[in-house]
Amino acid sequence: MSGIIGRTMTSRKISALNQFLMGSRVFASRTYSSSAKEMTVRDALNSALDEEMSADPKVFVMGEEVGEYQGAYKITKGLLDKYGPERVLDTPITEAGFAGIGVGAAYHGLKPIIEFMTFNFSMQAIDHIINSAAKSNYMSAGQISVPIVFRGPNGAAAGVGAQHSQCYAAWFGSCPGLKVLAPYSSEDARGLLKAAIRDPDPVVFLENELLYGESFPISAEALDSSFCLPIGKAKIEREGKDVTITAFSKMVGYALQAAEILAKEGISAEVINLRSIRPLDRPAINASVRKTNRLVTVEEGFPQHGVGAEICASVVEESFEYLDAPVERITGADVPMPYAANLERMAVPQVEDIVRAAKRACYRSST
C-alpha cells in the first residue's frame, strides 16, 4: 500500500456535501499507474452499466425516470440513447410492480437492473426483494435463479428528513439469498456493480447520494471493461497496527479522515472498506483484529442489530482472546432522522466520533 495522497474535491453537489467538506481530504491510494486518472462515482456507475449492457443484451435497466430524464441522479445518463426504450425502461411510480416484474424477468434468464430512485422507496417493494428474489432459488430447489440487481442511493442524505434518510444495509444484510454490496470509491462502484450484474443471484447494491459527485483516482486496471471485484471480499484501504476501523460506503471516507488525524497523535489505524455486507468478509476483519487487538465499527444505520453488531459478534466468536479493549460501535443515532441541520449532524457518525472511539479503544482518551 502506498502513501496517502491529498486531493481536492470536485463535486457537482457541493451544497449537499457540506458536512463532507470539513477536515483534510485524504484518501489512501493503491499502486496506481503514474498519471492517476480521476473518475466520479457517478461516472463509474454509469460506465459499468454501459459496459455490461453492451456486453450482454439480456441486461436492461428499469425504474422511475431512468430513461428520458436520464436518471434522477443521472446514473443512467446516455443509456436511453444508446440502448433504446426497450432496454432502458421508464416505469410508472410503482415500486412493488416493477420490482416484481424484474424478478419475473430474471426467472426467465434476463438480467434486470432495477433502479430505486432511493432505497427508501424499496420499502414499497421489499416483499419482492425478500420474498420473491431472495427465496426463489431455495424454494425451487435451485430450479429458478434470480440474476437481478436492485440498485440506488442508500443511507443518510442531507436535509431530507426521516423517510428519505436511512441505511438499509443491515435490513437486507440479514436476509439469506441476497448479496448486499456497498461501494465507496469509483473503483468499488465500477468493480462491484459489474460483478453484481454478472452474478447469478439477486444483489442489493447500496450506493450513496453524497458520493455520486466525488472523484477518486482510478487505475487503468479498473477502467478495463473486463474489470470486476470479488463479491464477499473487503479491502484494506489503509494499513495500520494499533486499531482496526471497519466502515462501508460514505463512512469509509470518514474513517480514512479519522485515521489521518489519529496518525498525527501517534495511533496507527487500519481502515477496512467492507465493500460487501453479505457475504461479510469475516476472515479479513478477524485477521485485522488479531493484528491490532482493537476494533471500531462505523456505520450510518441504526445501532440495534446493525452491521456493527454482526461484526462484533463475529470478532467475539472468532477472536475473543485477541481483544485488548471493548469493541466500539459507532452508528447512526437510534432515532428517525431529524430534519434540523444541527440535529441531523448529531444523528449520523462524524469523523470526530471515530477519532474519539479509536482513542478510547487505545486507552488514550480522557473521556
Partner 1 sequence: MATSFSATKLLQPLPPLNSSARSTDKNTLMSNQFKDSSFFLGSTHKLSLKKPFLPPHSQRRSKPVFAVSEVVKDKKLKNDSSLSNLLITKEEGLELYEDMVLGRAFEDMCAQMYYRGKMFGFVHLYNGQEAVSTGFIKLLKKEDSVVSTYRDHVHALSKGVPARQVMSELFGKTTGCCRGQGGSMHMFSKEHNVLGGFAFIGEGIPVATGAAFTSKYKREVLKEADCDHVTMAFFGDGTCNNGQFFECLNMAALWKLPIIFVVENNLWAIGMSHLRATSDPEIWKKGPAFGMPGVHVDGMDVLKVREVAKEAVARARRGDGPTLVECETYRFRGHSLADPDELRDPAEKNHYAARDPISALKKYMFENNLVNEAELKAIDKRIDELVEDAVEFADESPHPVRSQLLENVFADPRGFGIGPDGRYRCEDPKFTEGTAHV
Catalytic residues: 95, 164
279: Cβ–Cβ under 8 A, 6 or more apart, which residues? 179, 231, 232
- Where would I find the beta strands (DSSP E) of 110-159? 111-115, 149-153
- Within 13 A of 272's CA, how many CA atoms are on the CB side? 29
- Within 13 A of 245's CA, how many CA atoms are on the CB side? 38
Residue nearer to partner 1 on the CB measure, 314 or 350: 314
* Owner of C-alpha cell 419482492: 128
Question: What is the smallest separation between the CB atom of 275 and partner 1, expressed in angstroms?
Answer: 8
CA distance 324 to 366: 18
Residues 225/84, Cβ–Cβ less than 8 Å: no
CA distance 321 to 319: 6
235: Cβ–Cβ under 8 A, 6 or more apart, which residues? 188, 272, 273, 275
DSSP of 156-196, one letter per residue? --SS--GGG-B--HHHHHTSTT-EEE---SHHHHHHHHHHH
Q: Which residues bind partner 1 (CB under 8 A)?
A: 57-58, 60, 86-87, 91-92, 94, 96-110, 112, 127-128, 131-132, 136-147, 176-177, 179, 191, 195, 199-201, 221-222, 224, 226-235, 279-283
Question: What is the smallest separation between the CB atom of 167 and partner 1, expressed in angstroms?
Answer: 22
CA distance 178 to 180: 6
Residue nearer to partner 1 on the CB measure, 204 or 261: 204
Residue nearer to partner 1 on the CB measure, 190 or 329: 190
Find the helix or strand (DSSP H, E) in which 63 lies. Answer: strand 59-63
Question: What is the smallest separation between the CB atom of 230 and partner 1, expressed in angstroms?
Answer: 4
Question: What is the smallest separation between the CB atom of 304 and partner 1, expressed in angstroms?
Answer: 23
Question: What is the smallest separation between the CB atom of 303 and partner 1, expressed in angstroms?
Answer: 24
Question: What is the smallest separation between the CB atom of 345 and partner 1, expressed in angstroms?
Answer: 33
Residue nearer to partner 1 on the CB measure, 103 or 210: 103
